[in-house]
Structure 1
Amino acid sequence: MARIREFDIDRAVDRAMDLFWRQGYAETSLQDLLKELSIGSGSFYAAFGSKEQLYIHSLDRYLSLQGRDLETTLDETPGIRPAIRRVLTALIEADLADPTRGCLVVSTATQCADQPLAADRVNTAIRQVESALTGALERAQARGEIPPEKSPRELARFLTTFIQGIRVVGGARMGREFMEDALSTAMHALD
């Protein structure tokens, strides 16, 4: 008779995501994960297969949450400039509040580039941000909020790159003035 799994997989993935996010992939040991999830190694391997597979599940969860937040902000904030400013300001504030946490996508790109599944997730995440921004900018251009000569896709690619840069610079603890100056300049790209 098979044993019934005695823990919530979704909750475990959320807890693992938080641990990987705080410590990074390389710095998180199997023992760290077992302790954080309060499970034994047999249950761990039966549920997740490996540390790398759990990391991928955690990264997928992170991307789902971040993507949903981005799309919600872009869809629910009236006007493209306030929406973009709100997205960028939220990232800046998060990094100022906790510069050690940073972005799991940036961490993955820098620490796990040699892992094909992780590298694929980073590429997918960047494309999803680009796509969400492109769609919002196209709708804004149709409403006359963006000059007709601007390319929504090029703006989206710039802003996607800027977002990743914010996360890196935030971890470097450059401070509010530095970040707000960069935000101001980025917002002029929409003019």
Structure 2
Amino acid sequence: MARPREFSTDGAVEQAMNLFRRQGFHATSMPRLTARLGIGNGSLYAAFGSKDGLYADALMRYCDGLVGGIERDLHSGADVRTALRGLLIGLAAEGAADPERGCLLIGAVTERADHDATVRQVRSALDGVESALAQALRRAQDRGEVPREHRPEELACFLTTFLQGLRVMARARAGQAYLESAVDGALRVLD
């Protein structure tokens, strides 16, 4: 009979996600992972199959949280410019406050570009971000907040790309004032 699991897989995924955000996949060794999670190799392999399996679960958690957070922020009831500015400034502030804690999407796609499953996970999350932005922009057009001549899909593509660039600049320690200025410039595309 198998022994019952003595740790929370949910908590382990959260801890691993935070470690992968700081160190990346390759620099996060198995001994470092098991020490951080407080489990042995056997428990990690039994629960997740491998380091890759744990990474995939951590990336999925991160992606779900990112897309879900963006959807919530864009449905806040505020006009689209206010909602977008709040979302972007919030992401910039998070990055500026702790630049070592990077964006797992950026880390995943740059560090594991040759790993098809990782690239698909990242692409799916970015598609979700883009879709949420396009929906918010279409609603904003219906309310007269964004000119009709703008194409919501194009704006969403630009804003998704800008959002990732903003996170890279935060990790490069650009500073809050710089990042806020960039956000204000980017939002002029809605004029």
- TM, length-normalised to structure 2: 0.97
Distance, in Å, in 2 between the alignment partners of 1:151 and 1:90 is 25
Q: Following the alignment from structure 2 to structure 1, what is the Cα–Cα distance between the partners of residues 2 and 188?
A: 61
- Determine the C-alpha separation between the residues in 1 that align with 2:169 and 2:149: 31
Provide, for residues 131-162 of structure 1, a one-character-per-residue CA deviation record: whole Å limited to 9, x for no partner: 00000000110111110000000000000000
Structure 2 match to 1:16: 16
Residue type at the aligned position of 1:7: F
Paired with 2:111 and 2:136, the residues of 1 have a C-alpha distance of 31
1:133 and 2:136 aligned: no
Q: CA separation in 2, counterparts of 1:86 and 1:96? A: 15
What CA distance in whole angstroms lies between the structure 2 residues aligned with 1:94 and 1:71? 18
**Deviation by residue 1:83-140 (Cα, 9 ceiling, x = unmatched):** 0001100011011101111211011111111111111111111101000000000011
Name the Cα RMSD after superposition.
0.9
TM alignment of 1:177-188, pairs within 5 A? 177-188=177-188
Give the secondary-structure state (helix, strand or coil) at the position aligned to 2:27. Answer: coil
TM-score normalized with structure 1 length:
0.97
1:68-97 C-alpha deviation (Å, 9 max, x unpaired):
111111001410000000110001101110
Q: Is this contact kept in 1: 2:89–2:179, CA < 8 A?
A: no
Partner of 1:123: 123
Where do 5+ consecutive residues of structure 1 fail to align? none
- Percent identity of equivalent pairs: 48
CA distance in 1 between partners of 2:77 and 2:112 (Å): 34
**Matching of residues 166-177 of structure 1 within 5 Å:** 166-177=166-177
Which runs of no fewer than 5 residues in structure 2 stay unpaired? none
Paired residue type of 1:16? A
- How many residue pairs match? The answer is 191
Residues in 2 aligned to 1:13 and 1:94: alpha-carbon distance in whole angstroms: 21
Which amino acid letter does the alignment assign opposite residue 19 of structure 1? L
Partner SS for 1:17: helix
Deviations 1:147-185 (A, max 9, x none): 000000000000000000001111111223321221111
How far apart in 2 are the matches of 1:170 and 1:70? 18
